């Protein structure tokens, strides 16, 4: 059985995906000749049986010689030379049945190897099979089908039911329901509204919709994935080269053992028996099957691996360097807090800011309008909207006053605004000041939040064998260190230019096998400098994807942990199969050398060894231990529902903080402070506490099975109890204040502590649920 033949640089993917070759023909011919010979021998026609076995043996010699020459041309040890010598030896010594069995083993092993690769790469073939070739372009009232290469940015395209989105674009008509499983590895359908971006490769799972192209075919997501896929498996992984190094000493060892057996015993049959059990070398079969199986497994998770070398190297990685923005964070700013002047509410301030900013293309303006949309706020009417780059937007309100959103001089601010400015500095957040007639009424605090799945990703990477995790970012040190502390990194390198990033990655490479993960153009040099470059390809720049060895097509950093665990397991299975098969062959060679294993029996034994190592290598196709929990579709729907409720409840957290701040003001016993506490109590009893009750009785039991039992949610249930206790205490304070209509001085300290404590507990509780539970959803 010959070793795995890596496809050539230019035609590798085509050969790999087609699965064509002489293996089935050779196997059929040899199997027929061997079977006819066995029937003839059983019928007493021994001479005719020998002739059939001679034909089977001779049929395999020419292909085996061809595989030897191919291996030598690539500079590999020609371990198939053992097969050729064994075949010739059986003919020379009259062991015709052994020769036929070797030929059957050789052709069968080759066919099994090819079949294993075809099975392992079926997910990759799906990409090529579904690649769109044309698109329906609308011009005026007419629609025409044009080649994909003719599509230009700005073209209006129609995507019908069941059709693949041809190029990247934005939805311009009605909402769309898409199946993005080819891109993300997740089977759940997603809904996209008008204006939302859509990536090529997604399949329309609903009615027809229209989109406007934002990229050409060449620069669209799907085309890039196909290009990477066509290279997958086209190069041999280092573990296979390691197998070649093993073969370099295994070949002379086998020849020496055969020669020694012949020299000592004087029996050439023993030498042939040694060569028989040394043929083929299982280590050259197991490694490629395991690595390509790992590539297939990764593809199902939305991870495109450029070649086997990248997967094998990832399995040996001990250091991972990560960019911050777009990698550990979402890459999109988000409004996380709203500070207000006395007499104003967070909802009022946010609605006014969104009304002024709704026509602005600025990234912070998009975050403000998105926050207002998530909360379902009604925007006040505005007109005469203008924008001054670098300063913000201005608009006229219905009563004739002027509203502004943007930057302002912070040297002279009221107390509440100074507190908001200080909070923003501590959180590393940007501030959008909202003012009416140049008088500040509120501030929207925005920052790029940590991905919910980032902390769990770091834990899983450490479980996969990574011992050092480093953030390399161009951002400021303060927010970088805070995020590193939250997700659990070992070191932070901030204010790094692209040149600095390359130098940092090279320094890490000197100590250990290093992976670099990034998503921007400025990350491309560092990705190329690492042992393995990983690009966040869902929204990242094409330059980083081109420089990367691995592309995460889903906008989830936990796919990196999936890839690392798959790579580690695939490499372990490859080495285990290769060394195990070789050890069994060496033991069999010993028995054959002492005359305890005749050639025919040795051929059968070696066939079993080869089948065993191939089947063991195919274990890399299955999920292994340590894979993240899998949740049912019903549970995932629950997770999405409660995640959406978290977004809706952000104003409750803001109201709790606002009430606590009012109690800290100069007159905590004012009617304004009491009204703020009453408002909080109403929000808690009508919105927050019912949400927590529903989580306790619906979400947590559904998650318990996937996470390992009810104890996995016990700590979070205890937090629910604390939230209810603090909420009840706040209600009790209001009950005590009812007779006088005011908060008594002795209530201020405890009520303030309750409000600030509740705010902190809720923030931590929300963060824990989003990290541990909500990140399990594919959405």
Which residues are catalytically annotated?
323
Residue 206 and residue 183 in contact, taking contact as beta carbons nearer than 8 Å: no
Dist CA 230 CA 228 (whole Å): 5
> Alpha-carbon Rg of the chain, whole angstroms?
34
Residue 576 and residue 291 in contact, taking contact as beta carbons nearer than 8 Å: no
- Strand-strand pairing, 319-322 and 209-213: unpaired
The H or E element spanning position 136 is strand 134-139
Contacts of 85-88 with C-beta under 8 Å, sequence gap 24+, read 85/255, 85/258, 85/275, 86/272, 86/275, 86/276, 86/278, 86/279, 87/57, 87/60, 87/61, 88/61
Angle at CA 662, nearest 5°, toward 659 and 665?
A: 160
Q: Which two tokens stand for residue 30?
A: 């040899």
Closest by Cα among 673, 693, 648 to 742: 673
156 bridge partner residues: 138, 212
Dist CA 530 CA 130 (whole Å): 32
Dist CA 183 CA 302 (whole Å): 6
Cβ–Cβ contacts within 10 Å for residue 334, how many? Answer: 19
Burial group, residue 441, by CB count within 10 angstroms (0-12, 13-18, 19+): buried
551 bridge partner residues: 304, 535
Closest by Cα among 119, 127, 123 to 290: 119
Residues 6+ apart with CB under 8 A from 27: 104, 107, 108, 110, 111
Tally the C-alpha atoms within 13 A of residue 117's C-alpha that lie toward its C-beta. 30
Residue 110 and residue 30 in contact, taking contact as beta carbons nearer than 8 Å: no
Cβ–Cβ contacts within 10 Å for residue 83, how many? Answer: 30
Dist CA 647 CA 6 (whole Å): 51
Residue 575 and residue 306 in contact, taking contact as beta carbons nearer than 8 Å: no
**Where does 280-406 show beta strands of DSSP type E?**
303-305, 319-322, 334-340, 382-388, 392-397, 402-406
Dist CA 699 CA 707 (whole Å): 12
């Amino acid at each position: 059985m010959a070793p795995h033949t890596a496809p050539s640089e230019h035609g590798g993917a085509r050969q790999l995906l087609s699965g064509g070759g002489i293996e089935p023909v050779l196997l059929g011919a040899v199997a027929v000749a061997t079977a006819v010979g066995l029937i003839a021998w059983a019928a007493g026609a021994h001479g005719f049986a020998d002739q059939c076995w001679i034909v089977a043996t001779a049929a395999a010699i020419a292909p085996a010689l061809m595989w030897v020459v191919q291996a030598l041309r690539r500079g590999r040890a020609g371990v198939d030379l053992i097969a050729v010598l064994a075949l010739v030896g059986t003919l020379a010594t009259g062991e015709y049945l052994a020769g036929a069995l070797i030929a059957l083993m050789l052709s069968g092993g080759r066919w099994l190897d090819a079949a294993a690769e075809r099975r392992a790469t079926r997910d990759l073939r799906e990409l090529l099979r579904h690649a769109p070739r044309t698109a329906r372009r609308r011009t005026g009232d007419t629609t025409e089908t044009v080649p994909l290469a003719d599509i230009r940015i700005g073209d209006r395209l129609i995507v019908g039911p069941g059709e693949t989105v041809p190029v990247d674009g934005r939805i311009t008509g009605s909402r769309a329901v898409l199946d993005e499983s080819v891109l993300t590895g997740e089977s759940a359908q997603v809904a996209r509204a008008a204006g939302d971006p859509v990536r090529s490769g997604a399949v329309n799972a609903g009615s027809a919709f229209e989109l406007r192209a934002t990229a050409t075919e060449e620069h669209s997501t799907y085309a890039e994935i196909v290009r990477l896929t066509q290279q997958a498996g086209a190069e041999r992984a280092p573990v296979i080269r390691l197998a070649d190094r093993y073969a370099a000493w295994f070949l002379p060892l086998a020849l020496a053992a055969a020669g020694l057996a012949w020299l000592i015993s004087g029996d050439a049959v023993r030498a042939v028996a040694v060569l028989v059990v040394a043929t083929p070398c299982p280590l050259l079969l197991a490694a490629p099957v395991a690595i390509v199986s790992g590539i297939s497994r990764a593809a199902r998770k939305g991870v495109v691996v450029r070649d086997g070398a990248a997967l094998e190297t990832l399995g040996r990685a001990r250091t991972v360097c990560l960019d911050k923005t777009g990698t550990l964070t979402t890459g999109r700013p988000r409004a996380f807090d709203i500070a207000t002047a006395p007499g104003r509410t967070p909802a009022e301030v946010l609605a006014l800011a969104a009304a002024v900013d709704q026509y602005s293309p600025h990234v912070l303006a998009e975050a403000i309008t998105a926050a207002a949309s998530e909360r379902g706020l009604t925007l006040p009417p505005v007109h005469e909207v203008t924008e001054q780059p670098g300063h913000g937007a201005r608009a006229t309100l219905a009563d004739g006053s002027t509203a502004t959103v943007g930057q302002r001089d912070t040297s002279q601010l009221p107390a509440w605004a100074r507190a908001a400015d200080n909070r923003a500095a501590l959180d590393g957040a940007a501030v959008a000041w909202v003012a009416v007639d140049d008088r500040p009424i509120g501030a929207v605090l925005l920052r790029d939040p940590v991905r919910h799945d980032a902390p769990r990703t770091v834990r899983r990477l450490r479980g996969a064998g990574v011992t050092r995790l480093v953030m390399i970012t161009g951002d400021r040190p303060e927010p970088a260190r805070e995020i590193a502390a939250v997700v659990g990194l070992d070191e932070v390198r901030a204010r790094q230019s692209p040149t600095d990033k390359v130098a940092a990655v090279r320094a890490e490479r000197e100590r250990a096998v290093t992976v670099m993960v990034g998503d921007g153009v400025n990350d491309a040099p560092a990705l190329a400098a690492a042992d393995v470059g990983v690009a966040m390809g869902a929204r990242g720049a094409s330059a980083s994807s081109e420089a990367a060895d691995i592309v995460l097509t889903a906008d989830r950093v936990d796919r990196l942990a999936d890839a690392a665990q798959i790579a580690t397991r695939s490499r372990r299975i490859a080495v285990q199969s290769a060394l195990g098969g070789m050890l069994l062959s060496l033991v069999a060679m010993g028995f054959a050398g002492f005359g305890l294993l005749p050639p025919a029996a040795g051929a059968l034994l070696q066939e079993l060894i080869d089948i065993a190592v191939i089947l063991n290598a195919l274990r890399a196709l299955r999920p292994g231990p340590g894979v993240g929990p899998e949740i049912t579709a019903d549970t995932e729907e629950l997770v999405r529902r409660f995640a959406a409720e978290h977004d809706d409840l952000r104003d409750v957290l803001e109201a709790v903080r606002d009430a606590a701040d009012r109690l800290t003001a100069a007159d905590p016993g004012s009617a304004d402070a009491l009204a703020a506490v009453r408002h909080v109590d109403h929000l808690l009893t009508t919105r927050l506490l019912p949400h927590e009750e529903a989580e306790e009785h619906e979400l947590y039991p559904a998650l318990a099975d996937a996470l390992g039992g009810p104890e996995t949610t016990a700590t979070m249930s205890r937090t629910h109890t604390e939230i209810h206790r603090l909420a009840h205490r706040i209600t009790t304070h209001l009950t005590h204040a009812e007779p006088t209509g005011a908060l008594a001085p002795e209530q201020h300290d405890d009520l303030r502590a309750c409000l600030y404590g509740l705010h902190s507990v809720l923030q931590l509780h929300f963060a824990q649920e989003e990290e541990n539970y909500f990140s399990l959803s594919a959405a």
